[in-house]
Structure 1
């Protein structure tokens, strides 16, 4: 029977409130105030002073104010939010895991870093793959494939914290997503739809950051899924591409092996049998 630690509940709730307050109350609200309060007020004052809504003053003043606000406020806050959210999300995931499953398994540091780098690159390629799918000539089909990609990616984001704490390697995590794709499609679908609604990428990021803690906790509490007999190998092209990049980077860092014909043959041998 799993040991539950109720002492972690206040910390999880505190982190969730912090995520909502920072991403919704500070970041998103500041954008809304600027776009729907400050800009209209300044435009109204300019109209009163110049006597024209479409005068030359506002034609350069409006874009200049928007650019300045974006450069001096939105961009720094966006970068800071990404960094802070990473720590908060990890903290929420660890506390939720300890509460329901006990102490996480501590991986080897070098293996953990390599796994995370590989996972990050693979997820980037998968995001690009889903974006490219949206440009297919069949509008309905392309939109469905794109939503499927984003839903599976958000599910991977959510469940990855739990699976890493369980000691699962990346190939196990991807295999579980591909074999249980109907479940993970449904799990990530609400996030995929809600983040696609805003026209602004920054606002979409705020929506994601507000909702994501709930998805982390839901993924942590989810029961073990029985695999589907019809896996969907959507990650296969990204895995092959990421493998090729990592293999190429490793080969470039071994000049001694390239200088020796025997060692070079031993390195090339696995790729011929793959």
Structure 2
């Protein structure tokens, strides 16, 4: 019973910590600016003692890092205001208007059946054209831009709360860690989808939701852990050992992204909300008391990824040597 209480408490703490970013984001820029001003004042005092002519260089520090709220609003405008709104406008305004005009033009001749037949092939053509010429290019562009904006938000928040990042010791190790992490995340997402297809009512949905919550927690905390120099095995083991907290942390985002029926709209919702969870992950203090029953959900995809890399990159490197 005590263990169950600890699990529920850890989940509750995870949910509460995940929502902190929605509050912190409006005060974080002000706190960062105050921190920078104190550093500039201290630096200027030291410079004035030595060389007064160099004080102008320190005034440029204010504009080096992007504002967190500004970057978040940019994400919301691109993903919610442009991408998502254009989908709703096309499906909710443009298509019904064209259908109404088509029906109206055929109604004079009493050819409503002909109007329905024309619309049956016109609607798919218009939808495919809109997707190919607008949705797909904008989707690729938004994903590319979001990668840089998410990183800017994470780096600015980390520098404020923890100072200079402690990255992995070598560039090659950093690149290998990032590539392997991308493969693990893709395979784990596939594993979550497979869990949702299991022929077990309710249980399959719960398993799939558990996977998505842990994956979204990994997304949110990975920027912080990467800046702290944590390698991928340590990040995954930490989530598996303390899964109740990370299940609760990823639960709000998993629920909100599961509400839209369209995968594209769900991706828009994720991109709009994710900056807040990056900040929440950076400022959170994960509950680590509950670790009696670790869930090794990442172990299958790690084994599969190791097999893939050993049979491709490992074999290629052996032949080269």
Q: TM-score, normalised by structure 2?
A: 0.76
Aligned length: 254
Paired position in structure 1 for 2:204 = 142
Q: CA deviation at 1:10?
A: 6.7
Structure 2 SS opposite 1:104:
coil
Q: 2:132 aligns with which of 52, 71, 87?
A: 71
Q: Say which structure, 1 or 2, has more relative contact order (CA 8 Å, 6+ apart).
A: 2
Question: Residue 27 of structure 1 aligns with which residue?
Answer: 83
The alpha carbon displacement at 1:226 in A equals 1.9
Gaps of 5+ in 2: 1-30, 37-61
Per-residue CA distance 1:200-249 (angstroms, 9 max, x = gap): 11000000000000000000000153252221111111111111112222
**Aligned equivalent of 2:303:** 240
Secondary structure of 2:285's match?
A: coil
Aligned counterparts of 1:149 and 1:93: Cα–Cα separation in 2: 23
Name the CA shift for 1:126/1:97 in 2 (closer, same or farther; >3 Å): same
Q: Counterparts of 1:150 and 1:55 in 2: how far apart (Å)?
A: 41
Q: Confirm or deny that 1:162 pairs with 2:218.
A: no
TM (norm. structure 1) is 0.88
1:44 aligns with 2:106: no
Whether the 8 Å CA contact 1:163–1:173 is kept in 2: the answer is: yes
Give the SS at the match of 2:293.
coil
Superposition RMSD in Å: 1.7
1:125 positional shift: 1.1
Name the stretch that deviates more: 60-69 or 221-230.
Answer: 221-230
* Structure 2 residue aligned with 1:80: 141
1:252 Cα offset (Å): 2.8
CA drift of 1:97 comes to 0.4
Aligned partners of 2:66 and 2:152 also within 8 Å: no
Aligned pairs for 1:167-186 within 5 A = 167-186=229-248
Unaligned runs of 5+ in 1: 258-274
* Residue pairs, 1:46-65, within 5 angstroms: 46-51=102-107, 52=112, 54-65=115-126
Match of 1:252 in 2: 316
* 1:151/1:189 contact within 8 Å kept: yes
